[in-house]
Structure 1
Amino acid sequence: MKNCNFKTAKWCFATRRIDQNLAGGLCHDFSQTKPGDLILGRVTSIGNHRRIQLPEGRPSTLYPGDLVVLPCGARYAPDQFEGFAEIDEQCSDMLAGGGCIGRMVQRNERIKPPTRIQPLGRITSKDGTVLNTRDFALAKPITTSQIPVICVVGTSMNSGKTTATAALAHGLTKAGWQAAVLKGTGTGAFGDYNAYTDTGASYVADFTDAGMVTTYKEPLHRIVEGIDTLLSEAETRDCNIAVMELADGIFQQETAAILATPSARSRFSKYLFACSDAVAAAGGVAELERNGIRPIALTGMLSCSPMTVNEAQIATGVQVLTKGQLLDPAYANTLAARTLMGRSALAA
């Protein structure tokens, strides 16, 4: 494509750290595509994703013929798609509204097939270097941060993790903490990011700030490096506590690897566990305990029902906290105090 005006394309949310003025050309060799490479494409058909999430935090309706800029990436979302970071130059799949193009390998039968994109090229700078999200990441930390971290994990997508993360971050902020609210794993999207921003927390970031459009299929050391980068940046900005959400459920391969690896989970001081019912609570708590993790509290969808709360607390012996309680500065402050104690024990 000659004389392409890249600014006429719809750039996705996952490209928000990239200076669009650097786009100067296209590389048509897709055989060397790496996760994070920026792909210019043309929408050929509308499927599951009818809109693209823009860097400024609003959705834009997609039409056949639209030019879009999406990073190549994999995706793991049991409610939607599993896809790999592979580009078919004839036609590829839009795997996420926040920005991710690749090859779908399977999908939830309740949703439509993916929106299809014809790749036009990998975007390069004027000197021919392919632009990649990794090149625009925050600087890697020199030392490991000491900030206390409450890690929010759950049974699955839609178990209430993001709601709990945002509520606790707001409660901590109201209690006077300089809170950072972060997402350590997942696929780039503005939904969680915007929810975090609305809490009034001192610092908001996710793995895209560490250069990854998605953490699915990334090696564990790369993900942990990204988590360290976010925590270090939060500490640099004078935050004194962090709440970090890990995507999907505790059996998702990257989340499971983090929780099973002592050196990786050492970043976290305490855990909140979000789940939908008492059975999920009992099974999840037992699974976490296999890795030496005892949640500081249960939360999520089960907290909406007093009867389910009672069942879960009897089955697990772990307190259940509602969204309202997490929003309460007094409850949030109590969790923070327990977290600081846990961090001191880990340091010792």
Structure 2
Amino acid sequence: MTITLNQPVTTSTVLPLPARFQASYTTRLVAEGVEKRASDFWLETAGTPKAGDVVIARVTQINNHKRVETPESRKAILFEGALVMLAYGNRYAADQFLAHVPEDLGPCHLVAAGGIAGTVTALHDRMDEPTEIEPLGLLTDANGTVNVRDFAAHQNPLNVEAKPNRPQVIAVLGTSMNSGKSTTLACLVNGLDAAGHKVAAGKITGTGAGNDRMIYHDAGAHSVIDFTDFGYPTTFKLNFAEIRALSINMINVLADTGADTVIVEIADGIYQGETSRLLRDQLFQHSIDHVVFSAVDALGAKAGVSELQAAGLHVAAASGVMTASPLATAEATEVLNVPVIPTYDLTNPATVTAVLATAQKSHA
């Protein structure tokens, strides 16, 4: 891939906030603040952005991403010349892009439809080149550059402990991106809701997008949050202390909603750097009762379940994309020591409660 970008602006000037721009999902909480007091904000045309810093950018070349997700999770069509409010962020997506926060406000890319600005350094062979953007300036107020963490709905203190009397907590993990984790979680929510449970759901790690939280909501979760509510546009390259705290804080926030079951999703595969370390963390393990594992095929299911069990986690069941294939499901059933449940069977209240009841007994 060869991407040629123009030279950055190095001398900062002040620009008024544009009268019209499209806010994105990751900047939705900032956009609410700007809408209430637009006169308190302006743009600085030069600087060194950090992850989470908010930028207004012009779309200059539409390639892979042809839409941007709005605060309401609508997919707004992009036109060249359109102005969008994005957050700088690092992205790790094995099926799409590897991207990083650039060192300046020069031209860069829209690296995720949820509203992430960054510089793509590697992409999957099946992906088109990234959509190009030209930053106009960093959103600024009297306190300096605006970061999405300034408007976070929840804080992420690093000194955390698991609640002593928390509800049941289930983590959904998988072999990789697109292994069926979000669908598995939604089906778990739907089945437990039908069984009379009050379920809260959250996504701990990943790249900011409203798709997953909307699926959880549609499935019947009474409370839904994700890492963007804590002020993180993405979680890739966060230091481990923040990832660890984010995991526990999110579980605690969901537990405080009155839920009797909390289900959380962890993005990408279990070999992704932050995830691999998190799974072996004692505090995280103490905060999770069961794992439901999503896999693409039987081999991945076998390797993943074995890896999780070796790390000390209790796996209640395997599901995911592989269960769309009766042959792959049969193969996995032969080699796994946990139940293999077709994803949409988890919406059956009798099935999901039986799986978790069996898991409770075996874990006791």
Q: Please say whether Structure 1 and Structure 2 have the same fold, judged by a TM-score greater than 0.5.
A: yes
Q: How does 1:221-300 map to 2 (within 5 A)?
A: 221-300=241-320
Q: Is the 8 A contact 2:317 2:355 kept in 1?
A: no
Aligned to 1:215: 235
Deviations 1:303-328 (A, max 9, x none): 12222222112112221011232101
Q: Is the 8 A contact 1:88 1:103 kept in 2?
A: no
Structure 2 unmatched runs, 5+: 1-13
2:42 aligned with 1:25? yes
Q: Is the 8 A contact 1:183 1:205 kept in 2?
A: yes
Q: Distance in 2 between matches of 1:128 and 1:221?
A: 26
Aligned to 1:167: 187
Q: Is the 8 A contact 2:162 2:283 kept in 1?
A: no
Aligned to 1:329: 349
Deviations 1:256-307 (A, max 9, x none): 1111222233221100111111111122222223312342111011112222
Q: 1:254 to 1:75 in 2, by over 3 A?
A: same
Deviates more, 1:181-190 or 1:80-89: 80-89
Aligned to 1:40: 56
Q: Is the 8 A contact 1:170 1:200 kept in 2?
A: yes
Q: Distance in 2 between matches of 1:133 and 1:226?
A: 15
- 1:224: how far off? 2.0
Could you tell me which amino acid in structure 1 is paired with residue 25 of structure 2? Answer: F
2:21 aligned with 1:3? no
Q: 1:77 to 1:222 in 2, by over 3 A?
A: same
Q: Distance in 2 between matches of 1:65 and 1:299?
A: 44
- 1:35: how far off? 0.8
Aligned to 2:4: none
Q: 1:59 aligns with which of 60, 68, 75?
A: 75
- 1:342: how far off? 8.0
Query: Percent identity at matched positions?
Result: 35
Q: 1:111 to 1:266 in 2, by over 3 A?
A: same
- 1:101: how far off? 0.6
Could you tell me which amino acid in structure 1 is paired with residue 133 of structure 2? Answer: I
Aligned to 2:144: 129
- 1:333: how far off? 2.2
SS in 1 for 2:219: coil
Q: 1:316 to 1:341 in 2, by over 3 A?
A: closer
Q: Cα RMSD over matched residues?
A: 1.9
- 1:147: how far off? 2.9
Q: Distance in 1 between matches of 2:178 and 2:146?
A: 33
Q: 1:139 to 1:4 in 2, by over 3 A?
A: closer
Ranges of 4+ aligned residues in structure 1 off by more than 4 Å:
140-143, 338-343
Could you tell me which amino acid in structure 2 is paired with residue 94 of structure 1? Answer: L
Q: Distance in 1 between matches of 2:59 and 2:266?
A: 31
Could you tell me which amino acid in structure 1 is paired with residue 69 of structure 2? Answer: Q
TM-score, normalising length from structure 1? Answer: 0.92
Q: Is the 8 A contact 1:148 1:340 kept in 2?
A: no
Q: Is the 8 A contact 1:87 1:101 kept in 2?
A: no
SS in 1 for 2:59: strand
Q: Distance in 1 between matches of 2:58 and 2:168?
A: 45
- 1:58: how far off? 0.3
Aligned to 2:170: 150
Aligned to 2:28: 16
- 1:240: how far off? 1.5
Q: Distance in 2 between matches of 1:220 and 1:117?
A: 31
